Amino acid sequence: MLDRIAAVISILMSPFLVPIASILLVVRIYAVTSQQALLWALIVILFVSVLPSLFILLLFGLGRISDMRLIVRAERMTPLFFSLVSALAGAVILHLVNAPREIVWLGIAYVINGVVFVLITPAWKISFHSGVAAGCVTALALLVNVQFAWLFLLLPLIAWARVHRKRHTVLQTVVAAILAVASTVMAIQLSL
């Protein structure tokens, strides 16, 4: 039973899904028209989730990675670099379509967090699940409403799921969350 719960938490708190939920909340606040909201949300979903997921699927199909979940640390680098370039392209496109700077900088914060984690990954298997969730909650609390800070209570649950599934150690989840909060705060402060 605990294995199932940990698996469900890991799927729902995927680094490809959490940013989608976060950006939908941010877009809802900053968009004046529904067309703006739809455009901005589609850009983020495409460049942060869909394209990286399709790239991982392609690599798996070509036999370049052994697992779609990127469990093997050495196999993470190519998909991670692609994800960073894709997210950066999305942030640039958001800027070009005149999305509010808060939304553009949310994309930049995502890229900054990604760079930090990519630099750490060859030496240590830091938790992207914990880091992405912590970064997104930080962004929601700073850009939308401080009341979203209660979502930080989900971080221990995410960490438990990742540790229970033997994907990470407690330290890998904690360090990921701390680094993501710090770099997200820094990126958002630069936007103000």
- If one counts every other C-beta atom within 10 angstroms of the C-beta of residue 63, the result is 7
Enter the pTM of the model.
0.90
User: What is the count of structural domains for the chain?
Assistant: 1
Spatial separation of the C-alpha atoms in residues 65 and 57, rounded to whole Å: 9
φ and ψ of 72, to 5 deg: -75, 115
pLDDT the model gives residue 156:
97
Q: What is the pLDDT of residue 120?
A: 94
pLDDT at residue 16 in the model: 86
**Could you tell me if residue 65 is left (phi over 0), alpha (psi between -120 and 50 degrees) or otherwise beta?**
beta
Please give the pLDDT value at position 189.
87
Alpha helices of 63-168 — where are they, by DSSP H?
77-96, 101-120, 128-143, 154-164
**CA nearest 40: which of 27, 25, 49, 53?**
27
Domain containing 85 equals 2-191
Q: What is the pLDDT of residue 39?
A: 95
Q: Which residues contact 123 (CB under 8 A, 6 or more apart)?
A: none
CB atoms within 10 A of CB 191: 16
Which pLDDT does position 71 carry in this prediction?
80
Task: Per-residue pLDDT tens, the chain, 192 aa: give them.
Answer: 899 999 999 999 999 889 888 988 888 888 889 999 999 999 999 999 999 999 999 999 999 999 888 888 788 899 999 999 999 999 999 999 999 988 898 889 899 999 999 999 889 989 999 999 999 999 999 988 999 999 999 999 999 999 999 999 999 999 999 999 999 999 888 877
What pLDDT, on a 0 to 100 scale, did the predictor assign at position 191?
Answer: 76
CA distance 35 to 25: 15
Q: Which two tokens stand for residue 92?
A: 């640039």
Distance CA 163, CA 56 (A): 23
Quick check: 142 and 185 in contact, CB under 8 A?
yes
Give pLDDT, residue 143. 86
Residue type, 46: L
